[in-house]
Amino acid sequence: MAEMVLFHHALGLTAGVAAFADDLRKAGHIVHTPDLFAGHVFNDLAQGMEFVNRLGFAEVIIRGERSVQALPRELVYAGFSLGVLPAQKLAQTRFGARGALFVSACAPVAAFGQAWPPHLPVQIHAMEADPIFVGDGDSEAARDLTAQAAHGELFLYPGDHHLFIDSSLLGYDAGATALLLSRVLAFLAAI
């Protein structure tokens, strides 16, 4: 059993994010899902990103850091898209991290001011033709990060949807999500 924190994407803490967390809980894991948007949920990515731009990316990361202050240090940090920012910063810089799971995003390791802890396992999942993951440089950052980690895995799925793992959205891909979930459960079992 692992204890983890799962940070939501730019649409907020949607029913689909909650459902994925519940799937992990059903497998015996403790999953915390902080709401970085204080109840705001959006219907499309443009609206969500407008909110994020007003809030600021730095504030999203700060809210993520605050959300784990009362939690144990021995956590797996996970994030979907925007949620990868606080997850990656915490995994990379907070002592005691047990693992990292990133979906549809990855920042350059240098963004957080120190090297990736070589012992820290990481799994990154994305769709191979996701225009955001590919076009914004996340795919390159993911390859660099998984090469640096002693146990780093990058899984690419057929398709071009960014938030394919969120069952409450039109771009949801049940098959890719089921495969991703099986890989995540194996990852967590090995930690």
From first CA to last CA, the distance across the chain in angstroms is: 9
HSE (side-chain half, CA atoms, 13 Å) at 172: 13
- DSSP H or E segment with residue 30: strand 30-32
CA distance linking residue 45 with residue 42, whole number of Å = 7
How confident is the model at residue 122, as a pLDDT?
98
Query: 178: which 2 tokens?
Result: 């089921």
How confident is the model at residue 118, as a pLDDT?
85
- CA 70, distance to chain mean position in Å, is 20
CA distance linking residue 30 with residue 1, whole number of Å = 8
CA distance linking residue 146 with residue 1, whole number of Å = 24
Nearest to 104 by CA among 19, 172, 44, 50: 172
Whole-prediction pTM value?
0.96
Domain 3-190: CATH class, spelled out: alpha beta
Residue-wise pLDDT for 71-86, tens only, equals: 999 999 999 999 999 9
- Burial, 47: exposed, middle or buried (Cβ in 10 Å; 0-12, 13-18, 19+)? middle
Positions in the chain short of pLDDT 50: none
Segments making up each domain of the chain, as ranges = 3-190
How confident is the model at residue 150, as a pLDDT?
86
Q: Map residue 51 onto helix, strand or coil.
A: helix
How confident is the model at residue 65, as a pLDDT?
98
Query: The tokens 């120190």 sit on which residue?
Result: 114
**Angle at which helices 45-55 and 57-67 pack, to 10 degrees?**
80
